[in-house]
Each structure stands twice: as C-alpha cells, then as structure tokens.
Copies of this chain bind each other. A is one copy, B any other.
Amino acid sequence: MPKYSLGEIASRMNGEVQGDPDVMITGVAGLEEAEEGDISFVANRRYHDRIASTKAAAVIVGQGNGAAQSEKNCLIVPNPYLTFLLTVELFHPQNSDFEPSVHPTAVVDPTARIGERVFIGALVVVGAGASIGDDVILQARSYVGERAGIGDKSRVMPGAIVLHDVMVGKRCLLQSGCVLGGDGFGFVCDNKGVQQKIPQVAGLIIGDDVEIGANSTIDRGTLSPTRIGSGVKCDNLVHIGHNVEIGENTLVVAQVGVSGSTKVGSSVIMAGQAGIGGHLNIGDRVKIGAQAGVTKSVPAGLEISGYPARPHAESLRAQASVGKLPRLVRQFRELLERVKKLEDKL
C-alpha cells in the first residue's frame, strides 16, 4: 500500500490542511473502522461530533462547518465524499496488478487485432477477427469470441465471456462470469407441439463506461442487435433478453430480468429482483421498485412498485388496505348483523 503525507494528499485534492500536514497516511477507512494512520471522512454535518472519537489520523470534511473546533487533523474540501473516493483510489490504484503483457498460455488468434499496452492474462482466449483496443485488460480465463470488439481501457474480469460479434465500448468493466451475446430465447411451436428454434443472428452493442455485474447475462438480438447505452450499470445475476434497448445511465440492480424487445429509457432505476415484461416501453427516469412485476408500458418519470406494478403511492395504499383486510371482513360481518336487526325491526 502506498503512503502519503496529509499535505501531499491536500495538494493532489486541492484541499486545505488544518493541523499537521506532515502526518503520514497509510490507508483509508470509515470513521468507526478507522485505525491509526487511516484517513476517513464526514460528508454530513450531523456526524461532525463523531470526529473526536475516531482513531483516524485525519478526516476529510466540508468547508465552513465547525471542523475548526476539532483537535483532529482535517483536510477541508468542497465535497468530502467525492474527495474521499478519489483518496481511496490513491491508496488502491485500480488495475495496478496488470502490467502490459501477454501470458504465454493465452490463446490469441493471429487474425485478432490487439491494441497498445494491452494486458492478456493466463488462459485467455481471443477468437479470430476479434479487435482489442488500447489499454485493455483481459484478466485470466476471460473469453473474447470471433469478430467481437473490446473498446479502449475496458477491463474483462476472470471468467467473463464476450461471445462472437459482440461490440463493447470504452472504459467498460465486465465482471467475472457475465455472458454477453448468448442466444435469445426464441422458439416457434410447430404443429406437433415441438419448439423450433428461431435463429438468433444479430449482435449486442454495448456503449462506453458500462459495468456488467458478475454472472449477468445479456442476449444477442434476433435480427437487429440488442443495445445497452453508455453509462449503464448492471449489478449481478441480471438477465436482459434479446432485442432489448436500454438508454444511457440506467441502473439495473441485482437479479432484475428484462424480457425480450422491451425498450428502457435513460436514467431509469430498476431495483432488485424486479421483472419487466416483453415488448414494453419504459420511459426515461422511471423508478421501478424491488420485486415489482411490470406488465404494461410506463410513461417517463413515474415511480412504480408491486405486482402488477402500479404507481408507487397507489401500491402503498393497496398494501396498507390488504393488511387491514382481515379486520374489515370481521367488521363487515358485524355490520351485516346490525342491518339485519334493523330490517327485522321495521
């Protein structure tokens, strides 16, 4: 792990030191987990009183917020959380395990084009006609199929699989075990009840700055490609069906499933285990609750939840009513009796 004085960190982060600029920082941690030598942070004024009790050697804090009263060494910056993230990267430089090189056990087809400063690990396979950009990292046991492309600065983690003809943009992170470009699930039932496969011959096009989680699967298109927009982030065990299109900066949380031919807008959030039906349109900035089951198209900006998914407020009201339902049934029976008595009286 590298070491920096607080003053060095301050000058890299354009911050101001309050206290000892020569204190040596050897790691990063949360306020409560911090040990001697660590630097930590407080993003919210409400937690400033916790600064006194941390073991951290220094704390990153916001400007003009009473940190001056503290005896702790402080690094004062406009956005403490963002500065903390950058400091984490300073101590844990990404990709430092990967000096440009090609491992002798890698199987790289001679017709593949390989960019500059590429790392290709042990037992990697790169197929015929594949194209690997500059500064790409293909970790051990990853797979890039025939004619597939990986953009500059992208990283493919151990065991990730990019199948034939799939195009991946720049600065993407493909986590272990993901499968990009599997055949979509398309069959026609013939008149004997046997399912005949519909050939899945189109590709999968993934934009820049996309992250795909471990063991997620994104299928290739049937006749026109499946498309994942730039900036999309997918968690683990996500399924995205054939012919789907997902807009920019959309978040897809773990175990979500998006059925075939659905179009999802940009800046959408799909929470964990939600399921989206096929051939739907999900507008920009829609928020879909965890485990929601989406059966209809959703206009832009709406927040929905439940099964079948409804506007979130409506869904909450319905859930609350269901909780009260057993009591309602009891009260209803009592009321029936009372009405009967009234009827008898008249």
- On A, residues with C-beta under 8 Å from B are 28-30, 33, 81-82, 85, 88-89, 91-92, 94, 97, 103, 105, 107, 121-123, 125, 127-128, 140-141, 143, 145-146, 157-159, 161, 163-164, 173, 175-177, 179, 182-183, 185, 187-188, 193-199, 201, 209, 211, 213-217, 219, 223-224, 231, 233, 235-237, 239, 241, 249, 251, 253-255, 257, 259, 267, 272-273, 275, 277, 290-291, 293, 295, 306-308, 310, 314, 317-326, 328-329, 331-332, 335-336, 338-339, 342-343, 345-346
Contacts and interface: CB of A to CB of B under 8 A. Distances in A.
A161 B161 contact: no
A272 B259 contact: yes
A325 B326 contact: no
Nearest to A40: B223
A233 B342 contact: no
21 contacts: A28-B223, A29-B224, A88-B199, A140-B143, A176-B179, A187-B251, A213-B217, A217-B236, A237-B237, A241-B254, A254-B259, A257-B273, A259-B272, A308-B319, A317-B326, A318-B323, A320-B326, A321-B328, A332-B332, A342-B346, A345-B346
A94 B199 CA distance: 8
Contacts of A290: 275, 277, 293, 295
Closest 3 CB pairs of A and B: A182-B214, A321-B325, A179-B214
A37 to B, nearest CB: 15
Number of copies: 3
Interface-centre pick from A88, A177, A216 (highest chain B CB count, 10 A): A177
Interface-centre pick from A30, A185, A328 (highest chain B CB count, 10 A): A185
Contact of A217 (B82, B123, B237, B321): B237
Contact of A188 (B81, B89, B197, B215): B81
Contacts of A89: 199
Contacts of A251: 187, 195
A273 B275 contact: yes
B322 A329 contact: no
B328 A322 contact: no
A259 B235 CA distance: 11
A335 B338 contact: no
A179 B335 contact: no
A293 B305 CA distance: 12
A107 B211 contact: no
A215 B213 contact: no
A201 B88 contact: yes
A145 B295 CA distance: 41
Contacts of A209: 194
